[in-house]
Structure 1
């Protein structure tokens, strides 16, 4: 049995961020990216990436788009619809909604984020239905642009086309030699290269000139180095070596120099800056890493010709080529394509010091503005100023709800027991004598307090004693929200909400099958319910409507006040805030599950949860 190794994610991210040994780029093996949408008969020529998306162009008018999301057929690589079947050799753009692709028969395409449109090329002769022998049909093989949004495309017969940000126009070229590479340099300088050792430079005045290169290489790639020098790659036939050989040439201080290495190379197709060095790809699956004039051959596990390199925002790269090949050295292609981790957004929440690390189930504001937090093993805390202090434990049982009547503090939880605190000590106030947990509590006065819990449990205290009320359900009821004694809601399992009208409890259909844990509203026509797997529903006084949150987190509690606004909390530190009728995500600064939130009357907000976590959102 072969052992499958699970990649160490921390180590992998260190690799992407360049924190590993600097020699690693010269040792890492490359492998094909799985489940690419191209076939063995397809040649992939180039690609572009940005904002977590990837576009790869190839033969037969192919553009593969990768967004990280599967389409309706389950494929993550989407074949885009194009107005041509001609091969595409190069792609460049300022964003995923502004891309240009160039190719055979002078094809020049533009993508606006919605569709590809043919701008130039591919002109058909009306008489014989074939491609017309016109200048517009001159094949284009490479494209590059600058930060100002200008671009240049080059091709056969010295063809150079320029995009000034608005229109494409042909520029005067000093050569008729086929051009295969173009690269933009700082200072509005542009270089182009091609066959017979041809290297062109466009100066800042927009004029192209031919540089005096004594070498006869057929150049396929140009890389502008940090020091302003050029590195050119290609190949030519050497009589003395009896065959075609790849060649690297450096242009520095107005001089061309062929770089010499011990091992012969095949034709070189692309050069890109990569991990403080240069990544080089060529025919027959050859991959090299060049740094400080040291050339290391990389393990590619492929014999297919590699045509271009796509450098990703993470510092990793892809190599594309013949037979639908896309390769990377990253252990996880999806992670390699992801944009670099951004600095965590500043959180308006502060973590408070508390005298416990036990699970906290809830937080509530009392009649006089005092806040209480409570949880496992009889934990009850009271907020005094900015300090949480432990009260005596009612028992060793978990406390799941607390309510301040103004004339005494009630605490309830496991085994259906309710305790009352007189300011000094707790006393057992009621014992259900059943193994049911009381989960929520609300009261309008010392003579009217309600409690709900497991198996449809509903209790009412009338100032004299606790009485059980018929609920008509065996579902657990997780909390209570009320405007008064005649308007009360209790959420429960499988989308259940019970509504009390002062006389009886009845089902109030929300329209979801997910468990609901919390309810809050600022009026009877503006109520929200939250629950499992990001469930969020709104009641407008007439009907419930589901709201999309795109969250996988369970939403466990909701609370609001006029001074503080409304907040939702949930698993993995999830916090949402209501902003102009829209719920927006807000960084909490913690990954701890948050079980309860309380928006106080004075504007401060508190959230409590796992590992004794207590967060405070101070007055703004």
Structure 2
């Protein structure tokens, strides 16, 4: 499966990386890897998708590209009346508006509540719904709060300005008749996450336990269920053409008589948003930046790439880069595309480094050490069963490996064998790099940073609540360390020759980073969870 996904990604040229203003770009997955929550468009050549960390993507009919949102808040829903009038809502009462040229913030007046759904009947009649029964209304000039039953609401849709439905927690369904919101019995106590209809007497709602309920103009009743997979969103082009998507890549289709499952090729990540311009042009989005498309005959994954957690990256040149990760994954970049290589192990690999294109080391769990000789990867005895996380050397006869057991494991390769060296600490080490044989850095748990000056290892920093997983530099005065905080968010530190300082990724990625490498100070790669690959250029 890995090789198939990589080949698919390499063969499609319509994927464009999403870049930040400070030069970090997504390289894998493409177009980016943050979870996406909602998708909507005004036409087949004007589609928006929104997600975590303020992510906003746009499809112009040929490629997905990133747009600055001005926020790092999660965006849960997007909807509009036209290509120049689009709304996105999210956490902390975030409301953004697209006027055809830029996204700008709109005051919601509800900073303490998450907004999860947005829909309207016209540019002067838009609803946003969210936590604790929040129902906001846009009249063309401002947002105002309306009174509604106190239920957390997840989605909103209507057939007209006097017929609007919002669904949410514990089976809550509320209805707007043009004058007030009222609670309507749903027939289920499962939390509902998506709602859509083709007409006032044909409305569907779905929930995370797989239930599907239907409004026929007089009552809501359960019509079907997908007990093995929860459902998150629903949309259709007509009463006989309705799609429901959900967990583990579940896709169901209503043809007017039944809800059969429809398979999608590619990743089985959860899908949480669905929309289409016609019955033959439907998009669904979800976890890890997943984007899948229906062309009228089959669902296919938009080019993404491997989504193994990647832990290590190194290269001998800009056209010869290796990345390693979970399941023994080894990927190679030739300057144009990433492709998979057999590793001979299923142990997670965490570090990779080489002295040349024909002398590359990869290390991982249970003392795993692999060597690339230019033709194949083969195992080499490490003499330990400790989990190994980082590898670096100044030459083919001077290579360091760091890891974790009861203390900070450090191994050294002298050209013929691996031998242990005392670290002097009792916490795990995850990354190692140096500018010379007398200037080597090792990083690890609790923000630990060790330095080797040829006589011994000494502590340079530590005691901060972050994991430092990887370290690399272009010179002794330009060193990068990457990792994550205890909440899993990406962290990047920089050494300028005198001190370590924190640096923002600028991409809003919520995925932890595990390794960093570059060919120069202006060409730096960082890799991490869910196939995340960032590039500083």
Superposition TM-score, scaled by structure 1 size: 0.42
More strand by share: 2
Superposition TM-score, scaled by structure 2 size: 0.48
Q: Which has the larger radius of gyration?
A: 1
